[in-house]
Amino acid sequence: MKVPRISPVFVLLVFFAFPALVHATRIGDVTDLDWSEQTFRFLSLRDAAVRNAVLGSVFMGISCGLFGGYVVARRLALFGDTLSHAVLPGVALGFLWSRTKDPVAIFVGATVAGLLGTVVVAWIRKTTRVKEDSALGLVLSGFYAVGICILTVIQEMEFGNQSGIDKFLFGQAAALSSADVGLMGAVAMGALMMVTLLNKELLVTSFDEGFAGSVGVPVEFMRYVLLVGLTFAVVSSLQAVGVVLVSALLITPAATAYLLTDRMGTLLLLSALFGIAGGLLGSYGSFLGNNLPTGPFMVLACTSFFVVAFFGGPKHGLISKWLRRRNRVRQVSFENTMKAAYQVLESGDFSKESVTVGALADRRRTSVAEARREADDLVKAGFASMVCSDNAGSLYSQDARLSLTPAGWERACQIVRNHRLWELYLTNEACYAADHVHEDAEKIEHVLGEKVVRHLERILKDPRRDPHGSAIPSLEDIERGAGLSTNPSSATGYFRQN
């Protein structure tokens, strides 16, 4: 089986699709500088604020992307959402306690609140009949409401105005201090270390907890590691992306990666990359827009990645799925037309070399125009050619004649052979009645592979006739047809001997 790979072209496309979108968000903003100058300022990393924002975005992308990978693979998305909202009262209390935007106080407060939230969820689930999803919803909204209340109180206090506490709601990457960035870096490093050192333990617990326990992996401990790590990732990213949308940074990059790969390692890598890219584009967009809140921009960027992957992903993408299905439909239509041509030739005992479009239309039970279109498609694909005749001038003439090329003849023989072998197999081996097998064979004939056909031949002992008495085209017939092309004047080429 082919392991799906992400084509670099695709990744590049995703990256280049963006500037246009980000510019669009700028329209209507009042800025003194034009956007190219702003872009230069951003890319040159001259301002300390920009440097902090860029570094912070990278760290946030790494920690949220990596933990998000596990969140999505383990179906903990709702849990991540709850955790990210439950930290708000902790943020507010940490602020109230330190009376400034002290990163350590806020970090401690938020972590405690987040963990408390998860404990409450587990407790509700264990002691009542309320199910987990409701418990999560309860804690999410309850904790969040408490947080908003305390925030409102803070903003009415004398130190509340210039506090910058509102940045925690929607995020402001440019307001990150060096201490904040240091903290984010530490969490990102921790996440990287955890993923490398505990790679196989995390994989087996995520996939099959029971089995993980049976091979001696400390399942409970791994769960706490993941929970605490997740809390740290959320809390450290709060300032950059904001409480309201931080869960999107956990879910969206990882969900995008999940669309593109079937392996956990690749998923984590891609998820981190998408997180970083989304973070950078988000802070860039916010910078262009004169420091608008960063969170929505980041989430918008990540969501756009998802949309692109959703439609354009090489394996699970909607467009590639659609293309694959269209190809299949086209191929089946080709094969059916060639089969019809074969059957028309057969009905004339292979005395002629070509078939009229009218006869094809009769056989396919379609209009002459439709049959003509199908014939033209065959000609375009190189499976047939039109034979010049007196009436061929008219485009829709039913007397226009079609002749199969060697490739077309070979495929036609194969399809008819597949069809009749399958019918015979169903009647002889699966005990179907002879009048029940045609429908099934109509579908199966297009999907039988070389290997299965050989197997059928062995089982059926190289048969000559199908259940309805028609001859099954043999391998020699296929060869003879192909050989015929070098000598088109020989009208007996298609003729079968027995």
Helix, strand, or coil here: 76?
A: coil
Pairwise CA distance, residues 151 & 154, whole Å: 5
SS3 27: coil
| Spatial contact of 95 and 101, defined as CB atoms under 8 Å apart | yes
- For residues 303 and 277, is the Cβ–Cβ distance under 8 A? no
Q: How far is the CB of 20 from other proteins (least distance, A)?
A: 32
Closer of 127 and 498 to other proteins (Cβ): 127
Cβ distance to other proteins smaller for residue 93 or 270: 270
Identify any residues that bridge with 387 across adjacent strands, giving them in sequence order: 401
- Judged by beta carbon, residue 218 or residue 382, the one nearer other proteins is 218
Distance in Å, CB of 257 to other proteins, minimum:
9
Tokens representing residue 395 in the block: 């485009």
Nearest to other proteins of 269, 441 (CB atom) = 269
* Nearer CB in complex with other proteins: 199/347: 199
In whole angstroms, what is the distance from residue 487 CA to residue 485 CA?
A: 5
- What are the strands, taking DSSP E only, across 315-433? 355-356, 384-387, 401-404
Q: Least Å distance between CB 25 and other proteins?
A: 33
Nearer to other proteins, 47 or 208 (CB): 208
In angstroms, the CA 295 to CA 401 distance is 66
Q: 211 vs 224, which CB is nearer to other proteins?
A: 211
Least Cβ distance, residue 423 to other proteins (angstroms)? 24
Alpha-carbon distance of 402 to 256, in angstroms, equals 49
| Side-by-side strand order, sheet with 384-387 | 355-356, 401-404, 384-387
Distance (Å, rounded) from C-alpha 132 to C-alpha 345? Answer: 67
User: Cβ of residue 425: shortest distance to other proteins, in angstroms?
Assistant: 18
Nearer to other proteins, 166 or 209 (CB): 209
Tell the smallest beta-carbon distance from residue 204 to other proteins (Å).
Answer: 5
Nearer to other proteins, 58 or 254 (CB): 254
Is 259 or 402 the residue whose CB approaches other proteins more closely? Answer: 259
DSSP secondary structure, 3-19, as one string? PP---HHHHHHHHHTHH
- Using CB under 8 A as the criterion, which residues of the chain lie in contact with other proteins when the complex forms? 1, 3, 73, 75, 126, 197-201, 203-204, 206-219, 258, 261-264, 266-267
Distance CA 171, CA 217 (A): 38
Query: How far is the CA of 78 from the CAs of 71, 451, 466, in angstroms?
Result: 9, 47, 58
| Closest distance of CB 358 from other proteins, Å | 45
Residue in 474, 450, 470 with CA at minimum distance from that of residue 343: 470
CB of 421 to other proteins, least distance (A): 22
Q: Which is nearer to other proteins, 54 or 264 (CB)?
A: 264
* DSSP E strand boundaries for 129-205: none
Which of 269, 277 has the CB closer to other proteins?
Answer: 269
Min dist CB 211 to other proteins, Å, is: 6
Q: Return d(Cα 63, Cα 59) in angstroms, integer.
A: 6
Q: What angle do CA 103, 106, 107 make, to 5 degrees?
A: 80
Distance of CA 258 to CAs 71, 75, 79, 235, Å?
A: 11, 12, 18, 24
Nearest to 194 by CA among 288, 63, 299, 301: 63
Diameter over CA atoms, the chain: 104
Name the minimum Å distance from CB 3 to other proteins. 5
Burial class (CB in 10 A: 0-12, 13-18, 19+), 27: exposed
Least Å from the CB of residue 414 to other proteins: 25
CB of 351 to other proteins, least distance (A): 47
